[in-house]
Structure 1
Amino acid sequence: MKLSADVLEIIACAMLILVSFVGNTCLFYSTRKCISGCLKTSFLLTFSLVFVHLIKNLVVNVMKIVYSSGIVLDSAGCKVLHFTAALTTSLAIWFLLHFALFYHRKLYHIVYCSSEAANLDQQKHSLKRVSALWVAGVAVYIPVLIYTRKSEYLNTGNDTDSLSTNRIYMDCLIGFGNKQVEFYYGKIFLVLIDILPLAILVFVCFWMSFLLSEKKKMTYGDIWIGDDDSETEILRGAKFSILLMLLITPLWISHFILVYFLKDLAAYVFIPAVLTALSSGFSALSPFLLMLVNYKMKLVSFCNAKEETPAPQSVNVTLSPYA
């Protein structure tokens, strides 16, 4: 049973690493043209999500494969595993919320026909916000990095057989040494910094759903006018923000519930593989949804590149009055 659990987890990790690497690499490749030019907020957030997803799979899941192969992690390995897993999960939620808020603001201005003042420093402000999220994420999880330790618990006797399927969760523990710190920081604060952004994300996406329904009813003097490239990008970004919300929220909630009842589920050999799939499923699937945001979009709508001007018509051409 122990071998079966390890094999299932190795297979799950390997598949997630492959899918995530292919998806995120393709996503980065498809948006690389904006790196040297004008980097829009949407692409800056996309690049941030790409890096978060790659770090999660190339560090966390690779370490899980190593552990499931029989190589026991030391204290340093436990620290890196817990810190990276928690950091990448929170950053993915925060960046996705930023992504949804960005398209919600754009969609709001379209639906209610309000003019949005052009801000030349918008990209600089966006870069500062994204950088602040990275710094905040590292700062929030520094205690996890410090207090994570390798458990002295040894896999001996029949009492430990039921815990063999979640050894990596039992061997790498976070010991704060203070019950109040463990309660307020470990059980309340660390949960709130994920669940509050998720709750806001759900609210924003439901609001965007309402705005999208209002956009369908819009007419200009009882005449419907087609969307230009920029509006198409905003509409597509809003729709896929909703899809991404519907993907990450059930995954996070399911993973949280399973971890909370992990001791009761220890006897099931598929639990490690399921936990891995839930924790890394978003990083594996979301790149393919994000690529759809850019599908068949002109580069001018993203990077403010100059549109190709059509060749001028000859002045000698006489147009028919019936044309």
Structure 2
Amino acid sequence: MINDLPSTMKPSAHMLEIIACTTLILVSCAGNVCLFYSTRKCITGRLQTSFLLIFSLIFVHLIKNLVVNIMKIVYASGFVLDSAGCKVLHFTAALTTCLAIWFTLHFALFYHQQLHQAVHPVSEAPRLDQQKHSVKVVSALWAAGVAGHTPILLFTGKPKYLNAGNDTDPLSTHSIYVDCLTDFGNKQVEFYYGKIFLVLMDILPLAILVFVCFWMSFLLSERRKMTYGDIWIGDDDSETEILRGAKFSIVLMWLITPLWISHFILVSFSEDLAACVFFPAVLTALSSGFSALSPFLLMLVNYKMKLVSLCGAKEESPTPQLADVTLSPYA
């Protein structure tokens, strides 16, 4: 009976992984499609930085779910991935996770800059074209992400000892994280690139994201304490967008950081925890949870806003203002 236990657990583990992957794919696709549709309707002229970053995040989330999670379903259904399949799996998973962190950091930095200007307004010289600058930054992030993870496709291979004896080893077919390991063929390259460089590409932006979000929390607290002659001054549409964007960035930080840390810790002990029936499903939920939940968080944050605020502040031609009109202190 003890020897038969692993074989009876395998279908349950694989079924749980299939259920988790299928649920995340459906939820993420539905959320990202709705987010794309609602965001696209708000574009009236030029593509704002926030829209560009949202579209980039949508694209990254869909790639993760339609490539990584579908490959996991294929594996859990009984099809063994060859060396090329394992390369694509690890490359796509690492790239999409890294880009999601980078774009979230860029999103937070953008609204941090806007919030800082609203709380501490200063006179500045005219800025450069924000749209062209954002396109260049986003393109550079895509290029850097692909270049930084390309060695996974070029210099890794499936260890030979995993290709033989899979029928007798209960762990080899129990978890894709054990059966689909990749080997760089050089211990130094694997250590410095696979275990240090790739981790730093994620953890350094996460650390900066946490710092920026705590700074934004301080700015939001500082703004609530500001008074102008004991007179309450309401927010205009652009200020509302900035406040919502800053708060959303903080929510994103509290979502993506615990998920990444938990996933990293569990993957580090994957060989020890592979026999756990819930292990593959939990790892899948941690790795794809951000892509599934973040679109709904964005829509919920903007749920009670007016249409003009939901779509961002629209640029209007300047109109002469009357002398008795009180201007916003942030103008």
**TM-score after normalising by structure 1:** 0.90
Matched, 1:96 2:96: no
Structure 1 unaligned spans of 5+ = 310-323
Structure 1 residue 82, shift from structure 2 partner: 0.8
Which of 239, 242, 245 is the equivalent residue of 2:253?
245
Distance change (3 Å), C-alpha of 1:46 and 1:116? farther
Which of 5, 13, 17 is the equivalent residue of 1:5?
13
Which of 225, 231, 244 is the equivalent residue of 1:223?
231
Which of 159, 170, 179 is the equivalent residue of 1:161?
170
Letter of the 1:161 partner, please give it.
P
Distance change (3 Å), C-alpha of 1:80 and 1:35? farther
Say whether the 8 Å CA contact 1:233–1:293 is kept in structure 2: no
2:147 aligned partner: 139
Instruction: Determine the C-alpha separation between the residues in 1 that align with 2:18 and 2:126.
Output: 50
1:148 aligned partner: 156
**For each residue in 1:49-91, what CA deviation from the matched residue of structure 2 results, as whole angstroms up to 9, or x when unmatched?**
0000000001100110011101111222112111100000000
Distance change (3 Å), C-alpha of 1:115 and 1:290? farther
1:29 aligned partner: 37
**For each residue in 1:96-116, what CA deviation from the matched residue of structure 2 results, as whole angstroms up to 9, or x when unmatched?**
000000111111111112245
1:302 aligned partner: 312
Letter of the 1:304 partner, please give it.
K
Instruction: Determine the C-alpha separation between the residues in 2 that align with 1:133 and 1:263.
Output: 33
1:62 aligned partner: 70
Instruction: Determine the C-alpha separation between the residues in 2 that align with 1:299 and 1:275.
Output: 40
1:75 aligned partner: 83
Letter of the 2:186 partner, please give it.
N
Letter of the 1:8 partner, please give it.
L
Say whether the 8 Å CA contact 2:172–2:179 is kept in structure 1: no
Letter of the 2:291 partner, please give it.
S
Instruction: Determine the C-alpha separation between the residues in 2 that align with 1:46 and 1:285.
Output: 14
Comparing 267-276 and 33-42, the one that deviates more: 33-42
**TM-score after normalising by structure 2:** 0.87
Instruction: Determine the C-alpha separation between the residues in 2 that align with 1:251 and 1:96.
Output: 14
1:101-116 equivalence runs, <5 A = 101-115=109-123
Distance change (3 Å), C-alpha of 1:20 and 1:157? closer
Which of 212, 231, 240 is the equivalent residue of 1:204?
212
Comparing 149-158 and 202-211, the one that deviates more: 149-158
Distance change (3 Å), C-alpha of 1:157 and 1:304? closer
Instruction: Determine the C-alpha separation between the residues in 2 that align with 1:46 and 1:175.
Output: 35
Secondary structure of 2:157's aligned partner: strand
Which of 288, 307, 313 is the equivalent residue of 2:296?
288
Comparing 104-113 and 253-262, the one that deviates more: 104-113
Secondary structure of 1:44's aligned partner: helix
RMSD: 1.9
Which of 176, 180, 194 is the equivalent residue of 1:186?
194
Instruction: Determine the C-alpha separation between the residues in 2 that align with 1:48 and 1:282.
Output: 14
**For each residue in 1:268-306, what CA deviation from the matched residue of structure 2 results, as whole angstroms up to 9, or x when unmatched?**
011000000000000000001122344334447626344
Say whether the 8 Å CA contact 2:178–2:274 is kept in structure 1: no
1:232 aligned partner: 240
Identity of aligned residues (%): 75
Structure 1 residue 174, shift from structure 2 partner: 2.5
Say whether the 8 Å CA contact 2:108–2:212 is kept in structure 1: yes
Structure 2 unaligned spans of 5+ = 1-8, 320-331
Letter of the 2:312 partner, please give it.
F
Distance change (3 Å), C-alpha of 1:267 and 1:124? same
Comparing 201-210 and 119-128, the one that deviates more: 119-128
Instruction: Determine the C-alpha separation between the residues in 1 that align with 2:70 and 2:62.
Output: 11
